[in-house]
Structure 1
Amino acid sequence: MRLRLRALLTALLIGPLILVGHPAWSAPLRASAYYMPLDNDPQPISSIVSGSGLRQLVLAFVLAPNGGGCTPTWDGGGLVSSDTTVKADVDALRAAGGDVATSFGGYNGVELGAACPDAASLARAYQQVIDKYALTHIDLDIEGDDLGDAAGEARRFQAVRILKQNAAAAGRGLEVSLTMPVTTIGLSDLDRAEIQRAKDNGADIDTYAVMAFDYGGPAASMAADVGKVMEDAHAQLVALRPDLSSDAVYARTGLILMNGHTDQPSELFTPATFTTLLGYASEHHLARLSFWSLNRDRSCTGNVGWVDGKCSSVTQQPFDFAKVIARFTG
């Protein structure tokens, strides 16, 4: 009776709940890759399943419309509500035994948390995406001007609290990851303030995902430097989460890499770099090992410049990087 009443009250506040069509299980996204299903020449799901070893993807990016408004779209363009292409990909991956998260935000475009006027409308927008793709995992990738926007972050975390209440009322879980850029000394002041703001607004973050690239690391010792940065971030997270043990913080930490050349000319990730960092992630039993992006997990053709969204800019076979990440089990 209480569960039904709670579900009814939540529905009245933020809209109807979809109680059918969700996966019966909610396995953590351990080994995953960011994947743009509508941009950067995406590989077919059938090729990913047969060639990469990965069965878990983080789909990027859901944003506010380019023309303004509080409605979820893919990359600021196509409405999530009318999408059929991404839905078919999700269904195909699940049929192969996999699962997905969607990532809200990214470096470009307008994140819904900056476009929606309040937490209730933002929660409705997020919930549309959760219901459309029957999600049990979502990712908040907050970068650029959105990182440090106190009002936007408060709305976002208040919405997360509502979404978790929705999921509980519907008898399922919702795993939320918070993706953050990194510095040469770990998390920035803005990252740490964002984590504290999540706590202040009652948002339970399941995974703190650290983007350990684009910070100016040295290519010659990339793996060792990423390990140092991750240890710096770990110490900061332990201080921010005194309710958790050191091991429990590791178990809530994700490591996100970037395959090949990054946007920083000093950085270079090879499959060997990934293999070394797979060892770090496995030794510390991290929550997730991921990379940006699966669309780039192939050699370039033609003159594409230093870094490209469709290839790694290093000599490789298709899915060389994904095959390393797929070995991570937690």
Structure 2
Amino acid sequence: MNRELGTAGGRDRPPVRSRRAAGVVGVVAAGALAAAGVAVAAGGANAAAANLVVNPGFEAGALTGWTCSANSGSVVSTPVHSGSYALSATPAGSDDAQCTQSVSVQPNSSYTLSAWVQGSYVYLGASGTGGTDPSTWSSNAAWNQLTTTFTTGASTTSVTVYLHGWYGQGTYHGDDVSLLGPAGTGSSSTPPTTPSSPTTPSTTPTTPPTTPTTPSSSPSSVPPPPPNSGFNHPAYFMPLDNSPQAISAIVNAGEKELNLAFVLDSGGCTPAWGGNASTPVSSDTTVLGDISALRAAGGDAAVSFGGYNGTELGSSCGSASSLAAAYQKVITKYQLKHVDFDYENTALDSNTAVRFGAIKILEQNNPNLVVSLTIPMTTVGFPGSGVDEIKQAVAAGARLDVINIMDFDTGLTSGTEVGQTEAIANDAISQLQSIYGWSTSQAWSHLGLQIMNGHTDQPSELFQESDFSALLGFAKANHPAWFSYWSANRDRVCDPSVPHNWADGTCSSVSQNPWDFTKILVQYTG
């Protein structure tokens, strides 16, 4: 289908979202640290920078100065980095065991935050800085030091420093937290001996930050995918085009799984969003923030390479190894567990030896990667070019976890929209059984069923909400790998005061309430 990419310039984009923060850190200067966390140099005209964190090494033997979400934190005597005590906190369910402290600071001032940590996916950061809120993390069984810096805004008088783990991971430990810089005129937290109800900002991990902030441009700033995030109903979504909605709005509609479209070549085998030189993956922060917000809500994202327009990377990268390296940059940047290859238009059934050779390399280097191949359909199943692609993948030894059929844009030739969509899917199942030798249930477990909301590119096709509901029942009866649609950008009614295309990229062209189609989609659970 002709899925328009739009233009990058002159377009309103949603604010960048990063994980909520609350941090702690700072390299502890030489000298003694009292339980209150103040270090002062002995003698000399200039005093050493004071550690502004209360109870930075947890040597009070209690969480004095700290508040941990859901009673997830405690003070332990082993393991410790130094002294006699350290923080121990354990994520559980939707809680990531965030421990916070509010610290008084001065406006327009520079600070260094650091901490020693141990465990899987331990995060350190600060929120409410009035500028770019810092966040950094590591995953290490041994003690290691995290350090970051930030500058406060013109009216900032306090920040919240934090440590937290990650969903589904084990206990983490923290010790020797430090925030170095000018002390504020107010007082930092001097809490009671028994932690009381938090007075810091909400730490609910499933809610994106109320004040969106720009995450670090470092590829490591995106959190890893949560374990067992499902990925049964990933709607396609263009994060930089077609008037994208805020990720928080999509999550609030119940959708936490997205196929993000499209990464293309901006020239010289360089991955970029929409193939635009102005939006290279290497320096992206907007999509990075969107993925962080999805994962903070317990969901995940795939990146889709290709689409109908632009230059797919496989058309310009000259070898399987160079193409795999280009794809790997995107996987590494966003810590992807799912990738989608949508070869359409001139890229369909083209340069297949290079493309599937690259996919095989990716699977060897990323053993847990889930790979989907998206193929346009005919009214009788896969076109010859689609069959050729699947057979080339088999010949190259490239595993296809999901063969995603674009079960639309064929034109309605007879019967109903639902009846034809089901017939095309059943034809595809027969073809997959013939190619792979799968049983019917095995073939369904590898099939992705993708439809389109509202008007499609074919004037004879129209998917109403009732069609989505009927096809949801079809999916529940047959258990495809996923039930998806193009696209979340279109899940809203068109503004009647503005001219729109037949199959507009920003609205469905049918009567609906916002997110009606998405709310049907997310009822599919596999």
TM-score normalised by length of structure 2:
0.56
Which of residues 445, 453, 459 in structure 2 aligns to 1:259?
453
SS at match of 1:317: coil
Cα distance in 1 for residues equivalent to 2:300 and 2:244:
17
Write the mapping of 1:314-329 to structure 2, written as runs, cut at 5 A.
314-329=510-525
Cα distance in 2 for residues equivalent to 1:25 and 1:112:
29
Cα distance in 2 for residues equivalent to 1:132 and 1:256:
27
1:113–1:122 Cα contact (<8 Å) kept: yes
| Cα deviation digits, residues 121-140 of structure 1 (max 9, x gap) | 10110000001111000000
What is the one-letter code of the residue matched to 2:488? Answer: L
**Aligned-pair identity (%):** 49
Which of residues 153, 159, 163 in structure 1 aligns to 2:358?
159
TM-score normalised by length of structure 1:
0.89
What is the one-letter code of the residue matched to 2:245? Answer: Q
1:26–1:136 Cα contact (<8 Å) kept: no
Alignment match, 2:241: 39
Q: CA deviation at 1:245?
A: 1.6
Cα distance in 2 for residues equivalent to 1:226 and 1:112:
31
- Higher strand fraction: Structure 1 or Structure 2? 2
2:414–2:420 Cα contact (<8 Å) kept: no
**Where do 5+ consecutive residues of structure 1 fail to align?**
1-16
C-alpha spacing 1:92/1:219, structure 2 compared with 1 (3 Å): farther
Alignment match, 1:62: 263
2:232 matches 1:30: yes
What is the one-letter code of the residue matched to 2:478? Answer: H
Q: CA deviation at 1:28?
A: 4.3
2:226–2:295 Cα contact (<8 Å) kept: no
Alignment match, 1:196: 391
C-alpha spacing 1:69/1:185, structure 2 compared with 1 (3 Å): same
Structure 1 runs, 4 residues or longer, greater than 3 Å off: none
Cα distance in 2 for residues equivalent to 1:76 and 1:26:
31
Q: CA deviation at 1:306?
A: 1.4
2:229–2:298 Cα contact (<8 Å) kept: no
C-alpha spacing 1:100/1:240, structure 2 compared with 1 (3 Å): same
2:226–2:300 Cα contact (<8 Å) kept: no
Cα distance in 1 for residues equivalent to 2:414 and 2:233:
24
Cα distance in 2 for residues equivalent to 1:219 and 1:317:
29
Alignment match, 1:8: none
2:281 matches 1:83: no
SS at match of 2:335: coil
Write the mapping of 1:1-330 to structure 2, written as runs, cut at 5 A.
22-23=224-225, 25=227, 27-50=229-252, 52-65=253-266, 68-77=267-276, 78-149=279-350, 152-168=351-367, 173-218=368-413, 221-242=416-437, 244-301=438-495, 302-330=498-526
SS at match of 1:305: coil
2:226–2:298 Cα contact (<8 Å) kept: no
Mark the structure with the bigger radius of gyration: 2
- Higher helix fraction: Structure 1 or Structure 2? 1
Cα distance in 2 for residues equivalent to 1:218 and 1:87:
42
Q: CA deviation at 1:246?
A: 1.5
**Where do 5+ consecutive residues of structure 2 fail to align?**
1-218
Cα distance in 1 for residues equivalent to 2:234 and 2:513:
19
Q: Matched residue pairs, number?
A: 303
Alignment match, 2:97: none
| Cα deviation digits, residues 205-228 of structure 1 (max 9, x gap) | 000100001011258610111001
Cα distance in 2 for residues equivalent to 1:27 and 1:177:
16
1:219–1:267 Cα contact (<8 Å) kept: no
| Cα deviation digits, residues 22-73 of structure 1 (max 9, x gap) | 33525442111000000000000111111x21110000000000xx210100
| Cα deviation digits, residues 229-248 of structure 1 (max 9, x gap) | 11111111110111x22211
Cα distance in 1 for residues equivalent to 2:251 and 2:390:
35
C-alpha spacing 1:24/1:46, structure 2 compared with 1 (3 Å): closer
